[in-house]
Chain A
Amino acid sequence: MKAYIAKRIAYGIFVMWLVATVVFFGLRAIPGDPVRTMLGPEATDDAVQSLRAELGLDQPMHVQYIDWMTDLAMFEFGRSITKGGPVSSLLADAAPMTLSIGLIGLVFGMSIAIPAGILSATRKYEVEDYAATFISFMGLSMPAFFIGILLAVVFGVWIDLLPIFGYVSITEGFFPWLESLLLPGIAVGLPYGAIVMRMMRSSLLEVMNEPYMKTARAKGVNGRVRLYKHAAQNALIPVVTIAGIQTALLLAGSVTVEIVFGIQGLGQLLVDSILDKDYPVTQGVILVVAGILVFTNIVVDLLYTVLDPRIRYGGEQT
């Protein structure tokens, strides 16, 4: 168990190192002189030279690389060119908003997907199944930002129920925070829930055909216990896999949805920095997003060990 956790964490660190290295060389592969692009054509040679020195770009490559890695280890991402100020504080302001949207999306998506998946599998080819399947198909076919716009038009404009602009920090109270993020959260959670629901349905259907389900039935285990204790628990393992992989979808969704709702999160930061050629910020956002995903993947891996004892005892991970 400990060895397994250590292995997963080591792998996470390896992936982060890989990402940091690719970003390092990616930035240096930008055609032309990135410093001059950042400062604009009217910058003087002196200004270019001093920024180059500040970014350490006048150093030999291996020194730059070592500096880059040591800075990252201390969460130093440099300074924003257009906004001034350290990138790390911009990220610290933006990340909680994006993460909040993703979190609400996760909770919403899961709380719809699991019951709907169970319902759909137990009432296969009945009205409930068709309804759930249809909704999940719709959810899969709409980009999160479009669901966001639809929700904003319906619940924000036509029936003036929820705010459609801005973000309220959780420090100002849980309910105002939730209210400001409910629509974006649902928009992100719907496509996510759709995928998880489909997995829940097919996984549960497969498990219900297993011989041990028949045994349980023959033994006279009652239907409810059979469904929740014997079937659903085992069916959850592939669902957790998909739910873990798809956190990428939640994150990408949050990045676009926050723009619909005028929330200044990581997505806005990323788009602005790319359009302004504010490379330190772009790098920072990309590294933070990678960090979040690597972290959630490790958490999901650890969750397996709880759900599937075979992994705990060092079995093959599938």
Chain B
Amino acid sequence: MSTSQSPIDAKADEIDDVEEHLTLRKRLWGTLKRDKKSMLGAIVILSFLLVAIFAPYVAPVDPEQEYGIMEPPNTHSETADGEAYHLLGTDSYGYDIFSRIIFGARISLLVALVTVLFAFTTGTAIGLAAGYYGGWIDSLLMRYVDFQWAFPTLILAAGIIAVSGSLGVINVIIAVGVAFIDDFARLVRSEVLSLREKEYVVAARAIGMSDRRIMIKEILPNAVASLIVQVTLMIPIAILAEASLSFLGLGVRPTTPTWGLMLNEGRQFITQAWWLSIFPGFAIMIVVLAFNAFGDGLRDAFDVKEGEVLDR
């Protein structure tokens, strides 16, 4: 992975640092206005977030309410209190698929966001320390990177689930999060290495600024662009990882409405009822597509090279 800094960033360093915050927001907004693809991505992400937050109000019926088993899409079922409309049909337990997809968005997005947040904070801290101090922290990080070199994220996460000994949301977050730590740690480490000897960092050290302050106030703000891009592009990977783990039956507990589990349950009935697995799959696809489109736009906006972040 290249550790070199792009020429534009190098120029940006020369420009007054105070402007950084403004430019960031401006650049973000500029991208959205200019690039239709990332605007669309942002809108889709926002709507999924809103749907997830207001799931109980948006969902037409209770996701735990049982109706007729495997009703095809666009059907009605009679209930005690009137009719229920099944836009996407019902599943093998008789649950309304549309409502379960809406509630599934909660778990999928929550797990993905918390996972990336976890990996981001630990990874950034480790990367800062490794790049700034070097020494044993750096060696330990590099050995961990070596270790991860031998594993697909999914297998590593499955191994962590095996060690943790039980299923559940927290376990998934830790399992996938640990597998993502090195992505952030390596990124921050390489940024720190390229910034450590810059004049303003040397100056900060010379006037006796504490190490922690130099790392957080001087170095980290300069890595912000790559970090934002990395976060945006890691979220869809986290969504896919959670869905894969749930699909394998190693994710959240069975009967929780999540997209991965719905696919897992639906897969057994593909010959009779395709809608059981196809619709949750599309939900995954649309939200991942949106994050990828948004992240792609950001990458162009911040001029982060494709190879610089995300190499899985």
Contacts and interface: CB of A to CB of B under 8 A. Distances in A.
A259 B149 CA distance: 25
A19 interface: yes
B247 A143 contact: yes
Nearest to B288: A141
A242 B307 CA distance: 10
Given A146-B285, A256-B244, A15 B149 contact: yes
A202 B288 CA distance: 22
- Chain B at the A interface: SS class: helix
B243 interface: yes
A119 interface: no
B278 interface: yes
B274 A153 contact: yes
Contacts, number: 143
Given A142-B284, A274-B158, A256 B248 contact: yes
Interface in B148-188: 149-155, 158-159, 161-163, 165
A37 B165 contact: yes
B24 interface: no
B260 to A, nearest CB: 8
B155 A138 contact: no
A27 B162 CA distance: 9
Given A37-B165, A153-B278, A252-B155, A137 B150 contact: no
A282 B152 CA distance: 15
Contacts of B307: 238
Contact of B150 (A26, A164, A259, A293): A293
Interface string A3-38: 000000000001110110011001101111000010
A255 interface: yes
Contact of A251 (B149, B152, B163, B267): B152
B60 interface: no
A157 interface: yes
A271 B284 contact: no
- Chain A at the B interface: SS class: helix
A18 B143 contact: yes
B81 interface: no
Interface string A243-266: 001101101100110011000000
B88 to A, nearest CB: 15
Nearest to B289: A141
A291 to B, nearest CB: 8
Contacts of B249: 271, 275
Contacts of A142: 281, 284-285, 288
Interface string B131-154: 000000000000100110111111
Contacts of B263: 145-146, 149
Interface in A261-308: 267, 270-271, 273-275, 277, 279, 282, 285-286, 289-290, 293-294, 297
A26 B267 contact: no
A138 B285 contact: yes
Which residue of A29, A164, A259, A273 has the most chain B CB atoms within 10 A of its CB atom? Answer: A259
B99 interface: no
Nearest to B287: A141
Given A249-B152, A252-B154, A289-B152, A141 B250 contact: no
B271 interface: yes
Interface string B260-279: 00010011001100100110
A252 B153 CA distance: 8
B89 interface: no
A140 interface: yes
Interface string B189-230: 000000000000000000000000000000000000000000
B107 interface: no
B240 interface: yes
A204 interface: no
Contacts of A273: 162
A209 to B, nearest CB: 15
B285 A255 contact: no
A285 B159 CA distance: 10
A152 interface: yes
A19 to B, nearest CB: 5
Given A143-B240, A146-B263, A248-B153, 10 more contacts: A18-B143, A23-B159, A32-B165, A37-B165, A198-B306, A249-B152, A252-B155, A255-B152, A255-B154, A271-B248
30 contacts: A15-B150, A19-B147, A32-B165, A138-B289, A140-B288, A141-B288, A141-B292, A145-B267, A146-B263, A149-B263, A149-B266, A149-B281, A150-B278, A153-B270, A156-B270, A157-B274, A242-B311, A245-B311, A248-B152, A248-B312, A252-B155, A271-B250, A274-B158, A274-B161, A286-B151, A286-B159, A289-B155, A290-B150, A293-B150, A294-B150
Interface of A: 14-16, 18-19, 22-23, 26-27, 29-32, 37, 137-138, 140-143, 145-146, 149-150, 152-153, 156-157, 164, 198, 202, 238, 242, 245-246, 248-249, 251-252, 255-256, 259-260, 267, 270-271, 273-275, 277, 279, 282, 285-286, 289-290, 293-294, 297, 318
Which 3 A-B pairs rank lowest in CB-CB distance, beginning with the nearest?
A: A252-B152, A146-B281, A290-B150
